[in-house]
A and B are shown apart, each in its own frame.
Chain A
Amino acid sequence: MSANLSAIFYLISGVLFILALRGLSSPETSRQGNFFGILGMTIAISVTFLSIGSFSSGLTYVLIFLLIGGLIGAFIAYKIPMTAMPELVAGFHSLVGLSAVLVAISAFLNPEAFNLGSSGSIKLASLIEMSIGAAVGAITFSGSIIAFLKLQGIMSGSPITFRGQHLFNALLLISIIVLTYLLCSTQSSNYFWILLVVSFLIGFLLIIPIGGADMPVVISMLNSYSGWAAAGIGFTLENTALIITGALVGSSGAILSYIMCKGMNRSFFNVILGGFGAAEQSTSSQGKEYRPVKSGNAEDAAFLMKNASSVIIVPGYGMAVAQAQHALREMVDTLKKNDIKVTYAIHPVAGRMPGHMNVLLAEANVPYDEVFELEEINNDFANADVAFVIGANDVTNPAAKSDPQSPIYGMPVLDVEKCKSVLFVKRSLSPGYAGIDNDLFYKENTLMLFADAKKMTEDITKNL
C-alpha cells in the first residue's frame, strides 16, 4: 500500500476516534460512539500490516502477542467489578505509558525501520520528538503505577512528602531538558538511558505526595499525559492517527482535571504540589470539643422516609467501598412503590474518578434520568423532605460555605442541610478524606445512622 493511501486511512481512523468521543455526549449515542472507536482501531491496525507489505518471520509472533494481549484484556474487562474502575483505568494508563517507552526505545535502537535516519545519526527533529514521547511515557508509567497502588490500598493513600521535594522535582525537570539537548548534540545512547531513568523517577515523585482524596485529579492528569506521550510518538512515526488521538486524549484528560479541580475549588498546582490531607489533620484535631449528635437506627430512618414525599440520595465513595449500590436501589424501589419521589444527587468529585458514582448507579439499574449533577439539583434540597447521605462526607460539609478558615472553604457543596431532615449513613464520626469535621453531623435535623452502608440500607428496606 502506498504511503499516501495509508496516510489517508490513518486520517480516517483519527476521524472515527473523534466521533467515538462525540458519541459520549449522551448515553443514547454512546454505544454507537464506542463502535466507531473500535472501527477506527481496526482500520489503523490493518493499514499498518498492509503498508509493511513484505513480512518477515516476525509476523507470526506479532499476531501471537496481539492475541495474547487481547485475551488478557478481554478477560480483565469482563471480570473487573465496577467499583474497581479507578484502579483499572490507572493500570491501563501505565500500559500506554510503558508501550510508548518501548516503541521509543525500539525506534532509537533501530531508526532505519522507522525511516528516521541511521543509528548514531538520527534526524534531529525525530530525536527531539522521540525524547519527548519517551519521557512523557515514562512519567505516565511510573505515575500510574503509584496511583494504582494507592487506589488498591497496597500503598497508603496518605501523602508522602519530604523536605526540598519541590526543588528536587524542579531540578529533575530541568535535567530532562538538559539531557535532551545533550542527546541531540552527541547522539550518545547513554543520555537516552539516563533520560528514561530520570523520567521514571519524576513520575514516581510526582504522585507520591498526592493524597487519596485527590485521586480524581491524578487519574485525569495521567490520562492527559498518556495522550501527550502518544502524540510525541506519533510525531516520531509521522503517523496522523497517533497525532490526532494523542491530542484528543491529552486535551480530554486536561479538561477532566480542570473539572475535578473546580469541583474541589483548588488550583491544579495546589493539587499537584500535594500534601493536602496531612497538613490539615493536625489543626483539625486540636480545637475539637465534644458535641452531641443524634443517632438512630434503621426503624427511625424507615419511619422518616415513609412519611416523606420526596427523598434525595447523595452517594459517595463509602457506597462503593461497601458495595451498597444494589441494596440502595432496592430501598429506592420500595420507596417508589409508596409513591415517594426519589432522585440522586452526584457531586463532581464523589468517588475516586470522574463519573465513578454514575457508573455504579447504572450498574445497579438506576435509570440515568433519575441521576442529577450538583448544579441541576442543588436548589431542590430546600423542597425535599429527606436527604439520604450514603458514604459521602466532605461534599456535603456546610463549612465550605460558611467557614473561611476551613481548608475546603469555597468548594461547591450539596446543600443537604436545607432538607427537612438529613439521614447520614456512616460508620463512625471520623472525618472524611480531607480530615475535616463535618458540622452537618451536629445539626438539629440530622440523624446519624452508624453502620455499614450496605447493611443499614438493607435494614431500612426491611422496615419500610
Chain B
Amino acid sequence: MEIDPFIFRLSIFILSIFIGYYVVWSVTPSLHTPLMSVTNAISSVIIVGAIIAGLAGNSDDTFTTSNTLGLLAILLAAVNIFGGFLVTQRMLQMYKKKKKDK
C-alpha cells in the first residue's frame, strides 16, 4: 500500500515543531524581541501562496476575484518581509559588546 503524501508533510511538520522547540530554547533572552520580528518575517513566506494566487488562471482576465485577493496578499506579505527583516537587522546592529580599550 502506498503512503499518502499528506503523511510525509505531517512528518515534516511534527519534526519541525521539535526543531523549533529546541532551537528557540537556545535563543538568549536578550534577543527575544529580534526573535519575534524575525519569526514574523519568515512566516511571511506565505507570499509563496499569494504569488500562485496572483498569477493563477493564465487567462487574459488579470483581475478575477481570486487574482486580486492574491495581489493584495502579496502586498501585505511584502510589507512584512521587508519590514520584518530590516527592522531585525536594525536591532541586531545595536547589540554591541563592551569596548576593549576601556
Chain A window 145-164, contacts with chain B (Cβ cutoff 8 Å), 1 for yes, 0 for no: 00000000000000000000
Does A368 belong to the interface (CB within 8 Å)? yes
Q: Evaluate contact between B32 and A113: CB separation under 8 angstroms.
A: no
With A103-B49, A109-B66, A243-B9 already in contact, the answer to whether A359 and B39 are too (CB < 8 A) is no
B21 to chain A, nearest CB (A): 5
B88 to chain A, nearest CB (A): 5
In the assembled complex, the Cα of A236 lies from the Cα of B78 at a distance in Å of: 21
Chain B window 1-20, contacts with chain A (Cβ cutoff 8 Å), 1 for yes, 0 for no: 00001100100111011011
Interface residues in A77-130 (C-beta closer than 8 Å to B): 77-78, 80, 82, 85, 88-89, 92-93, 95-96, 98-100, 102-103, 105-107, 109-110, 112-114, 125
B21 cross-chain contacts in A, Cβ below 8 A = 251, 255
A65 cross-chain contacts in B, Cβ below 8 A = 54, 71-72, 74-75, 78
With A31-B89, A99-B73, A243-B9 already in contact, the answer to whether A106 and B56 are too (CB < 8 A) is yes
Interface residues in B75-93 (C-beta closer than 8 Å to A): 75-93
Q: Evaluate contact between B86 and A73: CB separation under 8 angstroms.
A: yes
Q: Evaluate contact between B48 and A45: CB separation under 8 angstroms.
A: yes
The one of B31, B42, B49, B66 in contact with A233, judged by C-beta atoms closer than 8 angstroms, is B49
The one of B19, B48, B51, B73 in contact with A18, judged by C-beta atoms closer than 8 angstroms, is B19
Q: Evaluate contact between A24 and B38: CB separation under 8 angstroms.
A: yes
Interface residues in B22-40 (C-beta closer than 8 Å to A): 23-40
Chain A window 213-234, contacts with chain B (Cβ cutoff 8 Å), 1 for yes, 0 for no: 0000001100100110111011
Q: Evaluate contact between A61 and B62: CB separation under 8 angstroms.
A: yes
Interface size on B, residues (CB 8 A): 85
Does A378 belong to the interface (CB within 8 Å)? no
B5 cross-chain contacts in A, Cβ below 8 A = 238
Q: Evaluate contact between A24 and B40: CB separation under 8 angstroms.
A: no
Q: Evaluate contact between A62 and B52: CB separation under 8 angstroms.
A: no
Supply 16 further A-B pairs (C-beta < 8 A) apart from A103-B53, A247-B19: A14-B16, A27-B30, A34-B89, A48-B48, A62-B51, A73-B82, A73-B84, A77-B82, A103-B70, A110-B66, A248-B23, A251-B17, A354-B35, A358-B30, A368-B30, A373-B29
Chain A positions near chain B (C-beta within 8 angstroms): 10, 13-14, 17-18, 20-22, 24-27, 30-31, 33-34, 37-38, 40-41, 44-45, 48-49, 52, 54-59, 61-62, 65-74, 76-78, 80, 82, 85, 88-89, 92-93, 95-96, 98-100, 102-103, 105-107, 109-110, 112-114, 125, 219-220, 223, 226-227, 229-231, 233-253, 255-256, 259, 346, 348, 353-356, 358-359, 362-363, 365, 367-371, 373
A and B contact pairs by CB, cutoff 8 A, 21 listed:
A37-B38, A41-B44, A56-B55, A56-B58, A58-B57, A61-B54, A70-B79, A71-B82, A85-B33, A95-B79, A95-B80, A107-B53, A125-B6, A239-B49, A240-B12, A242-B49, A244-B12, A247-B20, A353-B32, A355-B34, A373-B30
